[in-house]
Chain A
Amino acid sequence: MLTISRVLYEKIIEHARKDHPDEACGVIAGPIGSDRPTRFIPMQNAERSPTFYRFDSLEQLRVWREMDDNDEEAVVIYHSHTATQAYPSRTDISYASEPQAHYVLVSTRDEAETEFRSYRITDGEVTEEPVVVTE
């Protein structure tokens, strides 16, 4: 189950909408072991593509070091699909390498409604989980 505040939930959606039709991506850090997303970190999509995303390698180093200094870890890793459903693709599954993270997928394929779903991806297995948005 992913528990996330409304403020952070809306920040993810806003980022996805802003970058549409390119895929948006980012991290929400939280204290190690807390499973609580607290710090929103939108990332550059180095691919700048409507069908692929990748964190810029030096930006990723900076963010990962910062999380390490803060005793944080990546609680949420999010990205958007701009023309397909909010479900992990084959590439999403094969590149998922943060076992503790909630992989949030947002779809901006529909102008009026943004889909927001969350998954655990470990050892190539995808499990969808409920999302609880707290006020």
Chain B
Amino acid sequence: MAIEVRIPTILRSYTGGAKAVEGSGATLDELLNNLDAAHGGLRERLVDGEKLRRFVNVYLNDEDVRFLGGLETPVKDGDTVTVLPAVAGGAR
């Protein structure tokens, strides 16, 4: 089973510079645990406790997983998961 996970520049230190890696799992949560086994520390950049970090965007194909099931979002072979740090900031 292969799910492609596209990694933003700032997280490529966890993947040896690779812009995409492959993993498996039935849910996003399982997929991230699976990736973390090969790329230690990657999961913690995306997950805080039991929830996806607020300022990291995770997409399943063309959708934001916040509108699907968050970490419980089902994933399957052939899906593409994309990670992009949110671009945000403000006066304070």
Q: Give residues in A with beta carbon < 8 Å to B.
A: 23, 25, 27, 43, 47, 49-55, 57-58, 60-61, 64, 77, 79, 81-84, 88-92, 95-100
Contact = CB atoms under 8 A, between A and B. Distances in A.
27 contacts: A47-B88, A51-B92, A52-B90, A54-B87, A58-B62, A58-B63, A58-B64, A60-B86, A60-B87, A61-B57, A61-B59, A61-B62, A77-B87, A79-B89, A83-B91, A84-B91, A89-B89, A89-B90, A89-B91, A89-B92, A91-B92, A95-B87, A95-B88, A96-B89, A97-B8, A97-B85, A98-B10
Interface string B46-82: 0000000001010100111010000000000000001
Interface residues of B, number: 20
A90 to B, nearest CB: 7
A98 B9 contact: yes
A100 B12 CA distance: 14
A56 to B, nearest CB: 9
Contacts of B84: 57, 60-61, 64
Interface of B: 8-10, 55, 57, 59, 62-64, 66, 82, 84-92
B90 A51 contact: yes
A53 B63 CA distance: 21
A74 B10 CA distance: 13
Given A52-B91, A54-B87, A57-B84, 6 more contacts: A57-B59, A77-B87, A89-B91, A95-B87, A97-B87, A98-B85
A88 B92 CA distance: 9
Given A57-B64, A91-B92, A99 B87 contact: no
A52 B88 CA distance: 7
B67 to A, nearest CB: 9
A60 B83 CA distance: 11
A95 B86 contact: yes
Across chains A and B, which 8 residue pairs bring their CB atoms closest together, nearest first? Answer: A97-B85, A52-B90, A92-B89, A54-B88, A51-B91, A55-B87, A57-B57, A97-B10
